[in-house]
Structure 1
């Protein structure tokens, strides 16, 4: 495996897999006696999260990336011409395309990872940089970014603010043809058919994205209608249960009142029972004493009679 092949594979990996895979590729190259290749592989930098997302976009949505670079080329041509109407139209398409690519990054390229607002902003800056600068566009198409890009007054910088290295690198991921060099670009863009072809490509890609977005909107409407019907049914069930709960709570209050009244009645009956028990005990003692006296008197009478 040479350095170019290693780079294509490495920059398609998950960020946490990059370092171990790079070290393994370098070790294999060194074991094969390719010391220069091993050193070149070890010099490959691990991408930032923003750069990794862009690299994944190149792999998951090459048509979108191709449309982006074509749109950027046409935009740059309009600034050299007097076609202000087309420039305004392309500017509107620019926002649609960049928003669509960011959405694709969130849904597919991120592979289930959460894309923070800050990362999304850096992703937009990187895509905008590719629209503005042809060198940034070519670097983006390689799918081997190590840092997000940003266009400032004097050129393109990376996430650290340092000037970005925009040396030409042959794209190895996007399946469409490579951007032409400057000399060839001057010859090609001078042909009327080339601009029309680029315009058709950009418009067709954006139309496809609009159609896909309409389908997503229609599906979302269907999902919302189903969810709303489910919510209404749940609301009806909840309302019935709330009424039932209110009835039971009212019954509980009534029964608690009855229970308290019963407890008070029971306390009064117990007090009365206690008093009656005392009276009974006293009557029993009196009866026992009288019975004893009666028995004594009977004994005395029996003695006199005898």
Structure 2
């Protein structure tokens, strides 16, 4: 049993059966002489409940999962062509489909005795939403072997811990179904129509990622230029304020010196006033004395 086959089997089991079944398959591979496969199988992680539900949907609702991924492709096309009406129509369809898949997941869980809390339901909805807007998330979901719920953020897809989610190299259920429906084999080494469509899809995804990266770069460059301009303006403002402070400090020192001189002169004038008052009093007395005589 190779890793792909083991993973398909294990991630289809109930969460409580995962660990014992994984260890049994790992021991079996090691006993068969494939220690590397045994080690790889033993390292497979048990899925969270939200991830387990998503894996069950891939198996039980394959067509609707395909529809969800296709809606994502159509939405990106509508966005690229700036078709607002089409985008609104597709967005409404996506919301409805995610809601229906959520109900289907709750029914699956109920049949196996598992309770879906609001938190788990929200994480499942985030996983389905991520698959409809991000091709990497769609590929992760399509493997049917998620270990964690997914969430789409500005620069990619993260798991429940907030760490970047890695795209698994194992083939997705969608790809396996497509391969199983091939009616003819490749002719003399020439690519089939399915190969051409797959290659065109890969090129389209690469172009879309490049366009997003270029848009993010342009936005970052614009933000950097704005920050640089604001910094330059602020540095000029700081220099102007420093000059103003130096000027005001000099004026303050001069004003303090003038104040000290004025205060000193006030003392002199007060003493002169006292002397003048005494002299006036003496003069008034002499005048009054002469007037009596």
Fold match, TM over 0.5? yes
Ranges in structure 2 where 5+ consecutive residues have no aligned partner: 180-193, 206-293
Deviation of 1:15 after TM superposition, in Å, equals 0.4
- Counterpart secondary structure, 2:170: coil
Post-superposition offset of 1:76: 1.4
Q: Distance in 1 between matches of 2:89 and 2:54?
A: 25
Question: In structure 1, which of residues 159, 172, 184 is the aligned counterpart of residue 200 of structure 2?
Answer: 184
C-alpha separation in 1, matches of 2:73 and 2:167 = 17
Using CA pairs under 8 Å that are at least 6 residues apart, name the structure with larger relative contact order, 1 or 2: 1
The number of equivalent residue pairs is: 189
- Paired position in structure 1 for 2:79: 79
Q: Which has the greater radius of gyration?
A: 1
| TM-align CA RMSD | 2.3
The residue aligned with 2:48 is 48
Shift of 1:177: 2.4
Q: CA separation of 1:93/1:143 partners in 2, compared to 1, >3 Å: closer, same or farther?
A: same
SS at match of 2:157: strand
Deviates more, 1:70-79 or 1:90-99: 70-79
Shift of 1:83: 1.3
Judge conservation of contact 1:51–1:146 (CA < 8 Å) in 2. yes
Aligned equivalents of 2:38, 2:65: Cα separation in 1? 31
Query: Structure 1: 5+ residue runs without aligned partners?
Result: 190-306
CA contact (8 A) 1:155 1:163 kept: yes
Q: 1:154 is matched with which residue?
A: 155
1:89 Cα shift?
0.1
Contact 1:150–1:157 under 8 Å retained in 2: yes
The answer as to whether partners of 1:8 and 1:143 remain within 8 angstroms in 2 is yes
Q: C-alpha displacement at 1:34, in angstroms?
A: 0.3
Give the drift of 1:188: 8.4
Counterpart in the other structure of 1:38: 38
Cα separation, partners in 2 of 1:81 and 1:88, compared to 1, 3 Å: same
CA separation of 1:175 and 1:60: change in aligned 2, threshold 3 A: farther
Mapped partners of 2:14, 2:122: distance in 1: 21
> Deviation digits for residues 214-260 of structure 1, max 9, x if unmatched?
xxxxxxxxxxxxxxxxxxxxxxxxxxxxxxxxxxxxxxxxxxxxxxx
